[in-house]
A and B are shown apart, each in its own frame.
Chain A
Amino acid sequence: MSSTDTSPAPNPAPNPAPAAPATTDDLGAGLDALDAVVLQRVPLSETLRKKVLPPVLAVVLVLGAWQLAFDLKLTDSYKLPSPAMVWQSLVDLWQAGTLFSIIWTSLWRGVSGFAAAVVIGTPIGLLVARVKPVRTAIGPILSGLQSLPSVAWVPAAVIWLGINDQMMFAVILLGAVPSIANGLVAGIDQVPPLFLRAGRTMGATGFAGARHVLLPAALPGYLAGLKQGWAFAWRSLMAAELVASSPDLGLGLGRYLENQREQNDMPGVLLGIVIILFVGIAIDLLVFSPIERRVLRSRGLLAGSR
Chain B
Amino acid sequence: MSQVLTTISENAPRVEAPDGPPAIRISHVHKSFGRPGAANHVIDDICLDVAPGEFVTLLGASGCGKSTLLNLVAGLDKPTAGTIEVPGARPALMFQEHALFPWLTAGKNIELALRLAGVARAERRAEAERLLDLVRLGGAYGKRVHELSGGMRQRVALARSLAQGSNVLLMDEPFAALDAITRDVLHDEITRIWAERKLTVLFVTHNVREAVRLAQRVVLLSSRPGRVAREWQIDLPQPRRIESAGVAELSIEITEELRGEIRRHVQH
Name A's B-contacting residues (CB within 8 A): 12, 14, 18-19, 21, 24-25, 27-29, 31-32, 34-37, 39, 194-195, 197-198, 200-204, 208, 212-213, 216-217, 219, 295, 298-301, 306
Could you tell me the distance in whole angstroms from the C-beta of B262 to the nearest C-beta in chain A?
Answer: 28
**In the bound complex, how far is the Cα of B185 from the Cα of A212, in angstroms?**
32
11 A-B pairs (CB sep. < 8 Å): A19-B241, A32-B149, A35-B149, A37-B149, A39-B147, A197-B93, A201-B91, A202-B113, A216-B101, A300-B144, A300-B145
Determine the chain A residues whose CB is within 8 A of the CB of B74 once the complex forms: 201
**Could you tell me if A28 and B241 are in contact, using CB atoms closer than 8 angstroms?**
no
**In the bound complex, how far is the Cα of B113 from the Cα of A208, in angstroms?**
12
**In the bound complex, how far is the Cα of B237 from the Cα of A227, in angstroms?**
60
Write the chain A residue with the least CB distance to B240.
A18
Determine the chain B residues whose CB is within 8 A of the CB of A306 once the complex forms: 146
Determine the chain B residues whose CB is within 8 A of the CB of A12 once the complex forms: 181
Determine the chain A residues whose CB is within 8 A of the CB of B147 once the complex forms: 36-37, 39, 300
**In the bound complex, how far is the Cα of B12 from the Cα of A46, in angstroms?**
70
Could you tell me the distance in whole angstroms from the C-beta of B10 to the nearest C-beta in chain A?
Answer: 34
Determine the chain B residues whose CB is within 8 A of the CB of A299 once the complex forms: 102-103, 144-146
Q: Which 4 A-B pairs have the closest CB atoms?
A: A300-B146, A35-B149, A198-B99, A299-B102
Could you tell me the distance in whole angstroms from the C-beta of B44 to the nearest C-beta in chain A?
Answer: 24
Partner of B99, one of A18, A28, A195: A195
Write the chain B residue with the least CB distance to A12.
B181
Asked if B129 is at the interface of the complex by the 8 Å CB criterion, the answer is no
Interface core residue of B75, B91, B99 (most chain A CB under 10 Å) = B99
Could you tell me the distance in whole angstroms from the C-beta of A196 to the nearest C-beta in chain B?
Answer: 10
**Could you tell me if B188 and A19 are in contact, using CB atoms closer than 8 angstroms?**
yes
**Could you tell me if B188 and A24 are in contact, using CB atoms closer than 8 angstroms?**
yes
Asked if B14 is at the interface of the complex by the 8 Å CB criterion, the answer is no
**In the bound complex, how far is the Cα of B113 from the Cα of A299, in angstroms?**
19
**Could you tell me if A298 and B101 are in contact, using CB atoms closer than 8 angstroms?**
no
- The tally of CB-CB contacts under 8 A between chains A and B is 110
Additional pairs, 4, CB under 8 Å, beyond known A197-B76, A198-B95, A216-B103: A31-B185, A32-B149, A32-B151, A35-B152
Asked if B127 is at the interface of the complex by the 8 Å CB criterion, the answer is no
Asked if B8 is at the interface of the complex by the 8 Å CB criterion, the answer is no
Which label, helix, strand, loop or mixed, suits the secondary structure of the A interface? helix
Interface core residue of B182, B240, B243 (most chain A CB under 10 Å) = B182
**Could you tell me if A204 and B151 are in contact, using CB atoms closer than 8 angstroms?**
no
**Could you tell me if B76 and A200 are in contact, using CB atoms closer than 8 angstroms?**
yes
Could you tell me the distance in whole angstroms from the C-beta of A79 to the nearest C-beta in chain B?
Answer: 53
**In the bound complex, how far is the Cα of B144 from the Cα of A301, in angstroms?**
12
Determine the chain B residues whose CB is within 8 A of the CB of A200 once the complex forms: 76
**Could you tell me if B116 and A202 are in contact, using CB atoms closer than 8 angstroms?**
yes
**Could you tell me if A28 and B185 are in contact, using CB atoms closer than 8 angstroms?**
yes
**Could you tell me if A204 and B76 are in contact, using CB atoms closer than 8 angstroms?**
no
Asked if B117 is at the interface of the complex by the 8 Å CB criterion, the answer is yes
A212/B103 contact (C-beta < 8 A), A35-B152, A203-B90 known: no
**In the bound complex, how far is the Cα of B144 from the Cα of A201, in angstroms?**
22
**Could you tell me if B145 and A197 are in contact, using CB atoms closer than 8 angstroms?**
no
Determine the chain A residues whose CB is within 8 A of the CB of B240 once the complex forms: 18
Determine the chain A residues whose CB is within 8 A of the CB of B185 once the complex forms: 24, 27-28, 31
**Could you tell me if A212 and B112 are in contact, using CB atoms closer than 8 angstroms?**
yes
**Could you tell me if B103 and A25 are in contact, using CB atoms closer than 8 angstroms?**
no
**Which chain B residues (108-167) contact chain A, with CB distance < 8 Å?**
112-113, 116-117, 136-137, 144-152, 160, 164
**Could you tell me if A201 and B92 are in contact, using CB atoms closer than 8 angstroms?**
yes
Determine the chain B residues whose CB is within 8 A of the CB of A18 once the complex forms: 237, 239-241, 244
**Could you tell me if B99 and A197 are in contact, using CB atoms closer than 8 angstroms?**
yes
**In the bound complex, how far is the Cα of B95 from the Cα of A212, in angstroms?**
19
Interface core residue of B147, B164, B185 (most chain A CB under 10 Å) = B185
**Could you tell me if A31 and B112 are in contact, using CB atoms closer than 8 angstroms?**
no
Asked if B41 is at the interface of the complex by the 8 Å CB criterion, the answer is no
**Could you tell me if A203 and B99 are in contact, using CB atoms closer than 8 angstroms?**
no
Interface core residue of B75, B104, B188 (most chain A CB under 10 Å) = B188
Write the chain A residue with the least CB distance to B237.
A18
Asked if B192 is at the interface of the complex by the 8 Å CB criterion, the answer is yes
Partner of B189, one of A28, A208, A300: A28
**In the bound complex, how far is the Cα of B30 from the Cα of A102, in angstroms?**
72
Could you tell me the distance in whole angstroms from the C-beta of B152 to the nearest C-beta in chain A?
Answer: 6
Determine the chain A residues whose CB is within 8 A of the CB of B90 once the complex forms: 201, 203
Could you tell me the distance in whole angstroms from the C-beta of B214 to the nearest C-beta in chain A?
Answer: 14
A219/B103 contact (C-beta < 8 A), A197-B76, A300-B147, A306-B146 known: yes
Asked if B261 is at the interface of the complex by the 8 Å CB criterion, the answer is no
